[in-house]
């Protein structure tokens, strides 16, 4: 018998605080595996977001910093410019990146900063209690949209990846998901590719969006949440490579 799957060293051997079936645990694992497989553990610096993944630095065994809400791309800019040999990534949720931090991510991409952004999109504000996020789907029931989100007054779901893909400074933008093992492998490939671009000194920002489940605030079982991503969420947020000019 040969062990073919076990916890990767860059993922600390601790229990996470996430709810059962949360996608953050998966994203952390894929990130840690990508870091270990590329052998960049010693020179990687991560940025934890404000949101459910605020304690990501307790789970990922790389140097990490916690920054103000939404300002991760701005801090990453400074880190990369002063330490060009380091691999800098920011790990942000949709409340962090698509709501309060929209200006920072757009301008970081616009300036072609050589950083990697992992964007976890679960269409809801998880940490604060399931309120509507800019990425919430039309008709989706949240704490602040009890009748379901209506475009008249509450707007449409914000497609950050499409928005960034049109900027010349963004060199790699891909939207992935974690709803089945095949998609999980794809997501890992995308994260690795984004890191490889940064390692090779590609001039621009790389972003991997991960559609991730939030069973607690979608009021669904974990298995049903995965189905919901596949059937409903991917209609509004189509999966695939939006840009790869490397």
Residues near another protein, by CB under 8 A? 1-7, 11, 15-16, 18-26, 29, 178, 180-181, 184-185, 215, 221-223, 226
Q: Which is nearer to another protein, 26 or 105 (CB)?
A: 26
Minimal distance in Å, beta carbon 224 to another protein?
Answer: 10
Q: Which is nearer to another protein, 2 or 235 (CB)?
A: 2
The answer to whether the beta carbons of residues 214 and 20 sit under 8 Å apart is: no
Q: Nearest-CA neighbor of 132 among 41, 219, 124, 36?
A: 124
Minimal distance in Å, beta carbon 8 to another protein?
Answer: 8
Structure tokens that stand for 56 in this block: 């990501």
**Inter-CA distances, 156 with 17, 114, 134, 136, 232, Å:** 31, 30, 8, 8, 15
Residue with tokens 């790869």: 244
Q: Nearest-CA neighbor of 60 among 24, 104, 28?
A: 28
Q: Which is nearer to another protein, 41 or 86 (CB)?
A: 41
CA separation for the pair 17, 167 (Å, rounded): 36
Q: Which is nearer to another protein, 27 or 108 (CB)?
A: 27
Minimal distance in Å, beta carbon 196 to another protein?
Answer: 22
Q: Which is nearer to another protein, 4 or 146 (CB)?
A: 4
Local structure of residue 121 (DSSP, 8 states) = E
Minimal distance in Å, beta carbon 5 to another protein?
Answer: 4
């Amino acid at each position: 018998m040969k062990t073919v799957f076990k916890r990767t060293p860059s993922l600390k051997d601790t229990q996470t605080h996430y709810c059962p079936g949360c996608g953050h645990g998966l994203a952390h694992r894929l990130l840690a595996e990508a870091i270990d497989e590329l052998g960049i553990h010693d020179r990687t610096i991560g940025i934890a977001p404000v949101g459910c993944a605020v304690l990501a630095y307790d789970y990922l065994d790389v140097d990490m910093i916690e920054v103000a809400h939404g300002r991760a791309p701005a801090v990453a800019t400074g880190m990369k410019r002063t330490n060009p040999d380091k691999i800098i990534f920011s790990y942000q949720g949709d409340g962090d990146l698509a709501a309060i931090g929209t200006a920072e991510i757009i301008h970081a991409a616009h300036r072609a900063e050589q950083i990697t952004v992992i964007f976890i999109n679960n269409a809801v504000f998880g940490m604060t209690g399931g309120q509507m996020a800019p990425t919430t789907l039309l008709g989706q029931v949240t704490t602040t949209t009890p009748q379901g989100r209506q475009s008249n007054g509450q707007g449409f779901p914000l497609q950050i990846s499409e928005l960034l893909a049109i900027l010349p400074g963004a060199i790699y933008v891909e939207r992935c998901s974690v709803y089945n093992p095949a998609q999980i492998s794809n997501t890992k490939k995308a994260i690795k590719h984004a890191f490889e671009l940064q390692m090779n000194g590609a001039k621009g920002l790389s972003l991997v969006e991960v559609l991730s489940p939030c069973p607690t605030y979608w009021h669904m079982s974990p298995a049903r949440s995965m189905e919901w991503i596949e059937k409903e969420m991917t209609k509004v947020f189509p999966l695939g490579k939006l840009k790869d000019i490397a």
